[in-house]
Chain A
Amino acid sequence: MDAQVLLVDDEELIRQSVEAFFQSEGIAILTAASGEECLEHLEDGFRGVILMDVMMPDMNGWDTIRKIVESDLYDGNIIVMLTALGVPDNKMEGIQQYVTDYLTKPFNPDELMEILQYYFGLLNALKPAHG
Chain B
Amino acid sequence: MNYRQAHTLTTVTNKVQYMKTTTKYILASSIVAIMIVAMFGGYFLSQYQDYEVREEQEKLENCIRTFWELLNHKGTDFRVVNGQLLAGAYAVNGNFELPDKVQDIFGGVATVFMGDERVSTNVLNAEGKRALGTRLVGPAYEAIFKQGRTYRGVVNILDVPYLTAYDPIKNRQGEVIGALFVGIKESEFLERMHDLKVHLMMTLAGMATFFISLMVVLGRALHQVEAANDSQIRFQQTLLNTIPNPVFYKDTDCRYLGCNKAFEFYAGISQDELVGKTPHDLWPEELAECYLQHDLVLLEKPGFQGYEATVRYADGSLRDVIFNKATFNGSDGSVAGLVGVILDITERKAAEEATKNAYQQLWEIVEFLPDATFVVDKEKRVIAWNRAIEKMTGLKKEDVIGKGDYVYSIPFYGERRPILIDLIDENMDLIRDKYAFITIEGRTLFAEAIIPNFRGGADCCLWGTATPLFDSQGNQVGGIQSIRDITGYKQAEGERLLLKSQVDQNRLMETIMVRLGHDLKTPLTPLFILLPLIRKQLAQPDLIKKFDICIKSAISIKNLADKAAVLAKLSFRIQPFDAEDLCLAAVVDDSVLTCEDMLGLKQIVCQNCVDPAVIVHGMPGQLRELFVNLISNAVHFSNDRSVITISAEQHGNALWISVRDEGVGIAADHLEHVFDELFKADESRHDLETSGLGLSICKRIVLNHHGRIWAESPGIGQGTIMRFTLPRKAV
* Chain A positions near chain B (C-beta within 8 angstroms): 11, 13-14, 16-18, 20-21, 24, 55, 84-86, 104-110, 112
CB-based contact B530/A105 at 8 Å: no
Contacts of A16 in B (CB 8 A): 526
A24→B518 CA distance, assembly (Å) = 28
Is B612 located at the chain interface by the 8 A CB criterion?
Answer: no
Partner of B521, one of A17, A84, A112: A84
**Chain B nearest CB: distance from A118 CB in Å?**
18
Task: List B contacts of A55 (CB < 8 A).
Answer: 518
Task: Please judge, given known A-B contacts A84-B518, A85-B518, whether A105 and B525 are in contact too, CB under 8 Å.
Answer: yes
Nearest 7 A/B pairs, CB to CB: A17-B526, A106-B524, A106-B528, A84-B521, A106-B525, A105-B521, A84-B518
* B208 located at the interface, meaning its Cβ lies under 8 Å from any Cβ of chain A in the complex: no
Assembled-state Cα–Cα distance A110/B524 (Å):
15
Structural contact, B533 and A24, CB atoms closer than 8 A? yes
- The answer for the CA separation of A89 and B554 in the assembled complex, in Å, is 26
* A-B Cβ contacts below 8 A, count: 57
Residues of the A chain whose Cβ atoms lie less than 8 Å from the Cβ of B517: 84
Q: Chain A residue with minimal CB distance to B519?
A: A84
Cross-chain contact A20 with B530 (CB below 8 angstroms) = yes
Q: Given A13-B525, A14-B526, A109-B533, 10 other A-B contacts at CB below 8 A?
A: A17-B525, A18-B526, A18-B529, A21-B530, A85-B565, A86-B565, A105-B521, A105-B524, A106-B529, A107-B528
Question: What's the tally of chain B residues with a CB closer than 8 Å to chain A?
Answer: 19
User: A20 contacts which of B528, B533, B554, B558 (Cβ < 8 Å)?
Assistant: B533
Question: Please, how many angstroms separate the alpha-carbon atoms of A55 and B525 in the complex?
Answer: 14
B residues less than 8 Å from A84 (CB atoms) = 517-519, 521-522
Give the dominant DSSP class at B's interface: helix
**Are A13 and B528 touching (Cβ within 8 A)?**
no
B452 within 8 A of A: no
Binding site for A on B (CB under 8 A): 517-519, 521-530, 532-533, 554, 558, 562, 565
Assembly CA distance A6 to B527 (angstroms):
20
State how many angstroms separate the Cβ of B661 from the closest Cβ of chain A.
28
Contact of A106 among B533, B558, B565 (CB under 8 A): B558
**How many angstroms from the CA of A21 to the CA of B536 in the assembled complex?**
12
> Whole-angstrom distance between the alpha carbons of A79 and B554 in the complex?
27
In Å, the complex CA distance between A16 and B525 comes to 11
Residue in B517, B523, B525 with the greatest tally of chain A CB atoms within 10 Å: B525
Smallest Cβ distance from A47 to chain B, in angstroms? 24
Contacts of A112 in B (CB 8 A): 529
Please state if A17 and B522 are interface contacts (CB–CB under 8 Å).
no
A17 touches B532 (CB 8 A): no
Question: In the assembled complex, which residues on chain A have CB atoms less than 8 Å from the CB atom of B562?
Answer: 86
Q: Is the CB of B533 within 8 A of A14?
A: no
Distance, CA A23 to CA B667, complexed state (A): 52
Contacts of A21 in B (CB 8 A): 529-530, 533
What are 23 A-B pairs at a CB distance below 8 A? A11-B522, A11-B525, A13-B525, A13-B526, A14-B522, A14-B525, A16-B526, A17-B525, A18-B529, A21-B529, A55-B518, A84-B519, A85-B518, A104-B521, A105-B525, A106-B525, A106-B527, A107-B525, A108-B529, A108-B532, A109-B529, A109-B532, A109-B533
